[in-house]
Structure 1
Amino acid sequence: MSERLTRDYHVGEEIGRGRFGSVYRCYSRDTGEVFAVKSVDKTYLNDAVDRDCAEREAKVTQIAAAGNPNVVQIHAAYEDESSIHLVMDLCDGGDLFDRIAAGEGAPMGEEDAAAVIAAMMEALWICHRRGVVHRDVKPDNVLFDGEGRLRLADFGSAECFGEGTAMSGVVGTPYYVAPEVVAGRDYGEKVDVWSAGVVMYIMLGGIPPFYGETVEEIFEAVLRGNLRFPTRIFGGISPAAKDLMRRMICKDVSRRFSAEQVLSKFNSQLENYFRFCLGLGRF
């Protein structure tokens, strides 16, 4: 461990492990406050691209997280000869993948899924306003802190963009990646909305909307973009939820909702719900 890191923090037990290293619980020696430290082993950074991802995560996360309550904040960064260490918020409430897996394929309730998507889109809306695209939105990167608040994490694949500019390069995870990314075209921030829509579909249906036995087959299904809602799985899901997923998982980028439009949809539905309850005298 870095001498500077251990001078400022007491590093405790390992609480997670990833492709490039491990995550440990740590405590500030000044305040006693509890954090997590992600230690990236440089020996696993096989090329300049991997190293760039590791170094960029700290920089981009600082832009995305400032004042954004649904993004994991990075509080300090250290580097030594063997590793890069990022001290960040401790999210010990597990991740969304674990919550979905705990259902053993059983769909999540629509109200719970809506709460997750609303918080996720709030985080992405702020990111997009600041010119940051996550590019790897998936259940594994959606964490929960000790109070149950959703925290979007892992900005190692994120990219900054300016007004009128586009990105390129196949980045992301097969089941969640947008078709314009797979096709090798330039793309913008709406790739995150597509991915969030796929997450919503999986939460409500227990299966991905585009499936294949291999990465190539998954990409072919994504490129076709033939979105379906089998009655045996989605029969009990509201028309409003299906309509929102169609607008998020929309192959035509010009017609696909932005993060702001998704949030607007949630807000209008919430207002309608309150009006309904007022009419019944519940408030």
Structure 2
Amino acid sequence: MCETLKNKYQLCEEIGRGRFGTIFRCFHPISNEFYACKTIDKRVLADDTDRECLEKEPKFMALLSPHPNIVRIFDVFETDDFLSMVVELCQPITLFDRIINRPFLETEAASIMKQLLEAIAHCHRLGIAHRDIKPDNLLFDSRNNLKVADFGSAEWFGEDRSMSGIVGTPYYVAPEVLMGRDYNEKVDVWSCGVILYIMLAGIPPFYGESSAEIFEAVLRANLRFPTRVFRSVSPAAKDLLRKMICKDVSRRLSAEQALRHPWILSGGERGDLS
């Protein structure tokens, strides 16, 4: 690990572990503040694609910071073997942890979705698509504000620059990604829509016993609202879900458009579409 990092920060206990790295709580004596330090062992990276993602992530985070709903990056340290990023310290509980406990009230879901869409719209305005929006990557700070994390799969896009490559997580990935064709930033909106569906229903919209079965269900994109779980969900919420989890990308809402939907604007309290 980088000596410069150790000279500037005091590393504390491990608070998380990923495929390539470890996250520690760390202390900055000068500011008297605690942070999180994500340290990645470059020696275990599988291929050039992983190395490219590793190089891009701190650049994307620096460009996107500061934003109230995106994890802020403060320092980067790199050696031949390790890359360490010092970021703001969030609660240990993710949105995934909250979802598995119970379905959300519409007002709760709307508050979280508004913050998520604000973050995604900010990314898209700067020409960055996250490409792996899922509850595991959605954290909360000490004030309970939502924070989007993990930009390891993010990519640039633009009018003359589409994206390709299968990235993402089975339940949340958009069908056009699985089709192996070029796609745009609206893949993030699809993922946000899936998260909203799960928050309101407690189940995913597309299900399977294996990744292959989940992918088949996503490709069919047969969006349903089972009466037993959607009986109390408002028409406006279901309207927004249809417009976010829409297989026709040209008809799918952008993040900015989703933020202007009546259900979001009313904080989940408006059951009609007026």
Correspondence for 1:278: none
Q: Which ranges of structure 1 fall in alignment gaps of 5 or more residues?
A: 275-283
The whole-number CA distance in structure 2 between the counterparts of 1:83 and 1:225 is 41
Verify: 1:122 aligned to 2:118, yes or no. Answer: yes
Equivalent residue runs for 1:131-210 within 5 Å: 131-210=127-206
Cα displacement (A) at 1:272: 10
**Structure ranking higher in helix proportion:** 1
Cα displacement (A) at 1:267: 7.5
- Give the match's secondary structure for 2:261: helix
The whole-number CA distance in structure 2 between the counterparts of 1:257 and 1:162 is 17
Of the structure 1 ranges 211-220 and 178-187, higher mean CA displacement relative to structure 2 is found in 211-220
Q: 1:92 to 1:250 in 2, by over 3 A?
A: same
TM-score for the superposition, normalised by structure 2:
0.94
Contact 1:180–1:187, Cα closer than 8 Å, also in 2: yes
Verify: 1:9 aligned to 2:28, yes or no. Answer: no
Correspondence for 1:99: 98
Verify: 1:31 aligned to 2:27, yes or no. Answer: no
The whole-number CA distance in structure 2 between the counterparts of 1:159 and 1:269 is 29
- Give the match's secondary structure for 1:177: coil
Correspondence for 1:242: 238
Cα displacement (A) at 1:115: 0.7
Contact 1:190–1:253, Cα closer than 8 Å, also in 2: yes
Q: Which ranges of structure 2 fall in alignment gaps of 5 or more residues?
A: none
1:69-113 Cα offsets, whole Å, 9 max, x none, are: 100011111112432100001012521011112x1xx31211111
- Give the match's secondary structure for 1:252: coil
1:203-262 Cα offsets, whole Å, 9 max, x none, are: 111111111112111111111100000000111101100110000000000000000011
Q: 1:273 to 1:114 in 2, by over 3 A?
A: closer
The whole-number CA distance in structure 1 between the counterparts of 2:188 and 2:268 is 27
What percent identity do the matched residue pairs reach? 55
- Give the match's secondary structure for 1:174: coil
Equivalent residue runs for 1:72-83 within 5 Å: 72-83=71-82
- Give the match's secondary structure for 1:31: coil
Of the structure 1 ranges 42-51 and 140-149, higher mean CA displacement relative to structure 2 is found in 42-51
The whole-number CA distance in structure 1 between the counterparts of 2:33 and 2:75 is 13
1:258-282 Cα offsets, whole Å, 9 max, x none, are: 00011011577429969xxxxxxxx
Verify: 1:109 aligned to 2:108, yes or no. Answer: no
Count of residue pairs brought into register by the alignment? 270
- Give the match's secondary structure for 2:260: helix
Q: Which amino acid aligns with 2:94?
A: D
Q: 1:268 to 1:77 in 2, by over 3 A?
A: closer
The whole-number CA distance in structure 2 between the counterparts of 1:28 and 1:85 is 15
Equivalent residue runs for 1:224-239 within 5 Å: 224-239=220-235
Verify: 1:251 aligned to 2:250, yes or no. Answer: no
- Give the match's secondary structure for 2:115: helix
- Give the match's secondary structure for 2:251: coil
- Give the match's secondary structure for 1:84: strand
